[in-house]
Each structure stands twice: as C-alpha cells, then as structure tokens.
Amino acid sequence: MTANMPVLTDSKTLNEVVNCLTENIPIQTQGKCEQQNIFEILIRAATQRDSIENTSKVLKNVPTSNDIRYHLEKYSDLNSLELDLLKILPFGFYL
C-alpha cells in the first residue's frame, strides 16, 4: 500500500453503507427511531449473525427491537424493496 492510497476503516465502511442505504431505501421514521439508526442496527445484526432484538439490547442509546420492527413492517411491498436493493448493489453481485 502506498502513502497516497486511502485507508478504508470499519467506521468509514459502515458510514458509506448507511449513507447508500438511507439515500436509496426510504423508511419513514419518527421520534428516537431514525433511519440511520435502523440501518446501523440491521447491518450490525447481519454482520454479527445476530438478531435485531439482541443487537438492540447490546448497543446503548438505540431504539428497541419493537420500534425497529414497527418501522420495517411499513415496507409492505417487498418486491419493490428487493428492486431498490438490487439497484444499489455493485454490478454482478446478487442477493
């Protein structure tokens, strides 16, 4: 690695993923439960192979698992959500 090559840290990677998701996957939120919080919890749960419930218990000052599920249940059109996700994934990468 050269001195001019940028270093991608876990924090920077998380921020990039969360920013990409919030720009492309709208979730209407209210109160303490912000869209960014939801995505951070979902990403952590997925990368740790953990549940939303346990992840929200482990982290401090985050919405409860019930709050997160409430907002996720607003997404009734899963086909539309899948299409939105496929649009933002890198070319050649599929779920």
> pLDDT 10s per residue in the chain (95 long)?
455 555 556 888 888 888 888 888 888 887 778 888 888 898 889 888 999 999 999 988 899 999 998 888 887 777 877 777 777 766 545 54
pLDDT at 95 (0 to 100): 46
pTM of the model: 0.74
- C-alpha 27/C-alpha 38 separation (Å) is 9
- C-alpha 86/C-alpha 95 separation (Å) is 8
pLDDT at 1 (0 to 100): 47
* Residues 6+ away with beta carbon under 8 Å from 18: 36, 39, 40, 43
Q: Are 91 and 31 within 8 A, CB to CB?
A: no
